[in-house]
Amino acid sequence: MAQEILIPSANNVKDEVLFSNKSKAIIGDGFFPISYTKANYYLPNKDTLKERNWVIRKMFKEHFVQIVKDKYFLAIDPLFNVAIGKDALQSENSYLYQNTRGAQAFGSIQGILSFYTAFYENQARFSEFQNEYFKDRGELYPTASGYTKDNAVIPSGGRTKPFKTDGFDYASAVSYVRLTPLKELVIQFGNMPRFFGWGYRSMLLSDNSYNYTHLAIDWEISPGLTYTFMRGKQLNLSRKKHTSFVEKPYERKGIGVHYLSYRVFPSLVIGLFESTIYLRDEAESSQRVNPVFYNPIIGLNTVVKGFEKVDVKNILGLNAAWKFHPQHMVYLQAVSDQLKKFEFGFQLGYKAGNLFNVDHLNFQLEYNQASNSLYAAENQRMAYTHFNLPLAHTLGNGFKELVVRANYKWKSIYIDASAVYYRANQTMKDKSNLFQSKSIAGTENLVNVFNGNVELGYEFNPATQFRAFVSANYRRANSANEGLSSQGIIMIGMRSALTNRYFDF
């Protein structure tokens, strides 16, 4: 009855879900998060028979408030991410920290209407290379001579304000309401991202940027054939020059997504993807939305408008996965915004779950590549971004990347290891021009980066993914123009691991 609620978006949850059925059938149609029903997964039940001690139940087995009835379900939890650490390879003496407090509430009525809401309040101090990236993506204020940059922006965290010494203060919220009037039809409205693909990264649309308001309709036209229609509002964090408001508003743009997926066999899913960015605001003017933007037919926007016009940018993509064994699957993505000019992106990946018949032992190998201007546009305001952050891959444009991940959980003890290596045609210390106009020649600066992370921890409560952990991160970056830099970060803390943070750039 409560299974129409969406599973958490975190990769540690997705790794478990994709192989939970222990069959060759692929979980999902090519986008996440999906409902517990679609994932063939189950919400943690209230454990009143085996353990009657209230404190033990709430700490280790169930939600803080959990009401389960025949016709409705409700859960409420406090959420935390509290950690402290040090960059052992840098001369600075400041400690790194994350202090997040939040709460979530979700529920379902009659299995037809479900909802979710969460709020996070954060203060944090990050490492030097992270600070540089966050500040480079900061919001832009108009001045007499151009624009000035202020207030850093954090992937999935949003716009910040300064906090004490070298720290950031920021808040974020996520919410949705889902209506399931028919088994084959879901209507969802909310403020949250969607992730297209089965991989760690997405070359189509990911949860890297920030939450955005959107309406989505998922319709199973016939068994195996599913169509998704989505329209949303996004922002460039550039203030408009002329306005009657006390505070200058940001430049608006819209996003439209069409996705058609077909389950050829239970083990093979192929999807076609189209995404449209429509510009609503320039620095000094606004315009109405072109009616073509609202059309529900996949591919029509690109046919009518082309890949890019004055106010529209279109992206086409392919998304596919094949689970050739209950423990093994391969997946791929291809994307382009200029076929004739050979602007393209590509992903090829392999995932294994319950490897060697060992439950909860997972492995992933993934290769990603994007040309220098794939997600850019002639009009820089139409770049494939939201909140000045990439909507797809966290590196933006001009890279070749290899990702290796492995994790294992035994009872409540887990270990998670990852390694990211990439070569990119972009500066190491200044990402402010990552999405400059296509007509401007890109920066010629080949940078090589290795980023490895190991985390060891204990999962106290599977209902909220509440974990205590210690982690070690090593990053080494080298380029001919900017030299060599290294970071070695040790962190210890506790967190509710329900969302992703893409800091491995």
Domains of the chain: 11-496 (2.40.160.130)
Query: Angle at Cα 278 formed by Cα 273 and Cα 282, nearest 5°?
Result: 155
Contacts of 309 (CB under 8 A, 6+ apart): none
Average pLDDT over the chain reads 88
What whole-number distance in Å separates Cα of residue 199 and Cα of residue 364? 9
Q: Which residues of the chain fall short of a pLDDT of 50?
A: 48-49
- Contact (Cβ atoms closer than 8 angstroms) between residue 23 and residue 265: no
What whole-number distance in Å separates Cα of residue 65 and Cα of residue 500? 24
181 cis-preceded (ω within 30 degrees of 0): no
Residue-wise pLDDT tens digits, 104-141: 999 999 889 999 999 999 999 998 888 888 888 888 77
What whole-number distance in Å separates Cα of residue 252 and Cα of residue 289? 11
At residue 137, the 3 state secondary structure works out as: coil
Model pLDDT, residue 366: 98
Model pLDDT, residue 369: 96
Name the pTM for this structure: 0.91
Model pLDDT, residue 459: 94
Model pLDDT, residue 93: 67
Model pLDDT, residue 481: 73
- Contact (Cβ atoms closer than 8 angstroms) between residue 36 and residue 3: yes
- Contact (Cβ atoms closer than 8 angstroms) between residue 4 and residue 187: no
| Neighbour count for residue 335 (Cβ, 10 Å) | 27
Query: Angle at Cα 383 formed by Cα 385 and Cα 405, nearest 5°?
Result: 45
Model pLDDT, residue 242: 65
What whole-number distance in Å separates Cα of residue 195 and Cα of residue 198? 9
- Contact (Cβ atoms closer than 8 angstroms) between residue 397 and residue 435: yes
**Residue whose C-alpha is closest to residue 471's, from 458, 486, 461, 457:** 457
**Residue whose C-alpha is closest to residue 488's, from 447, 431, 450:** 450
